């Protein structure tokens, strides 16, 4: 049984057939269990990883020597070496590089434009983009700045702020209109952001640019903070329900993949979209 997400295998096929070491998998499962709690005994770990106490004990001794695990009394917990690995991973991780990996897979599957943007003040700055192959496509570009309240990426990021923070960004009630469809008051924006928080994604229909519809979801790091927003944009006044649903599913998958790579949690279930599809191949 293999698990797929929109046809993408969770692991490259070659990894599933390579020879592996069971003891290493046991060690990884031990670390996974310790990451969920503030400490576990040998007996508790043995039950959780479904391995004999003697095997788990040897694994723990190895992890202790490597400072991946420390022992306090009868309990074990994660050690300082884990933090070193985390810091090294963050230093080495390039969000735009991983974005291109994810975005290219989305574009090759559904042929819609995918973008990455960051919030700077009350504006969104587009930092990466992969165009679709359609004749008519969104006329955006890397480096472009646009008002956050009028974009899906902006709403996705603004939805992660508290109301006080939002009011600091927008001290005046009135908001500038970019088109006839733009939200033009902070009160209306707050109502929209509540909906975004409930659904887990944001959407716009011709709010920043005519004939442009976008969907967006925030990308979160290991602290849970939103660091960027992923969007899928369609150059159409109104996409069909099926086209929108397919784009939404791929959006949530993409935001989840990048968030997990940053150490964030898998929060894809917030949107109510079924992401993981079990099947055999």
Burial degree of 66 (CB within 10 A; 0-12, 13-18, 19+): exposed
For 94-104, write each residue's pLDDT tens digit.
Answer: 788 889 999 99
Q: In what order do the strands lie in the sheet with 113-120?
A: 145-147, 123-130, 113-120, 226-234, 213-220, 202-205
Residue 212 or 56, more confident: 56
Pure H helices in 123-162: 152-158
For 48-94, write each residue's pLDDT tens digit.
Answer: 999 999 999 999 999 999 999 999 999 999 999 988 887 776 666 67
Q: What is the DSSP letter of 229?
A: E
pLDDT, residue 225, reads 87
Structure tokens at 231: 């969007």
In CATH terms, is domain 19-90 a member of 3.30.450.20? no
Structure tokens at 45: 């770990």
For the chain, residues classed under CATH 1.10.10.10 are 19-90
In CATH terms, is domain 93-279 a member of 3.30.1370.60? no
**C-alpha span between 246 and 234 (Å, rounded):** 12
pLDDT, residue 90, reads 66
**C-alpha span between 279 and 227 (Å, rounded):** 33
For the chain, residues classed under CATH 3.30.450.40 are 93-279
Burial degree of 157 (CB within 10 A; 0-12, 13-18, 19+): buried
**C-alpha span between 254 and 257 (Å, rounded):** 5
Nearest to 182 by CA among 157, 152, 158: 152
pLDDT interval class at 216 (50, 70, 90): very high
Contact 178, 171 (CB under 8 A): no
For 163-202, write each residue's pLDDT tens digit.
Answer: 899 999 999 999 999 999 999 999 999 999 999 999 999 9
């Amino acid at each position: 049984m293999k698990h797929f997400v929109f046809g993408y295998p969770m692991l490259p096929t070659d990894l599933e057939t390579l020879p592996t070491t069971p003891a290493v998998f046991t060690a990884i499962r031990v670390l996974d269990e310790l990451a969920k709690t503030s400490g576990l005994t040998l007996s508790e770990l043995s039950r959780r990883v479904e391995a004999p106490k003697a095997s788990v004990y040897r694994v723990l001794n190895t992890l202790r020597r490597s400072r991946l695990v420390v022992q306090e009394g009868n309990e074990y917990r994660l050690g300082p070496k884990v933090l070193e690995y985390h810091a090294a991973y963050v230093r080495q991780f390039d969000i735009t590089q991983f974005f291109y990996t994810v975005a290219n897979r989305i574009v090759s599957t559904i042929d819609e434009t995918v973008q990455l943007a960051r919030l700077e003040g009350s504006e969104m700055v587009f930092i990466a983009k992969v165009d679709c192959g359609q004749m008519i496509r969104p006329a955006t570009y890397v480096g472009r700045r646009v008002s956050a309240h009028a974009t899906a990426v902006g709403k996705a990021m603004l939805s992660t702020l508290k109301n006080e923070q939002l009011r600091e960004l927008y001290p005046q009630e009135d908001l500038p209109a970019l088109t006839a469809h733009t939200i033009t008051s902070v009160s209306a924006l707050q109502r929209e952001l509540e909906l975004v928080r409930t659904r887990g994604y944001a959407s716009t229909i011709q709010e920043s640019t005519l004939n442009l519809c976008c969907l967006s979801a925030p990308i979160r790091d290991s602290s849970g903070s939103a660091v960027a927003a992923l969007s899928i944009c369609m150059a159409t006044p109104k996409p069909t329900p099926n086209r929108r649903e397919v784009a939404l599913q791929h959006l949530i998958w993409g935001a989840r993949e990048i968030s997990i790579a940053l150490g964030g949690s898998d929060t894809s279930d917030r949107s109510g979209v079924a992401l993981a599809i079990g099947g055999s191949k």
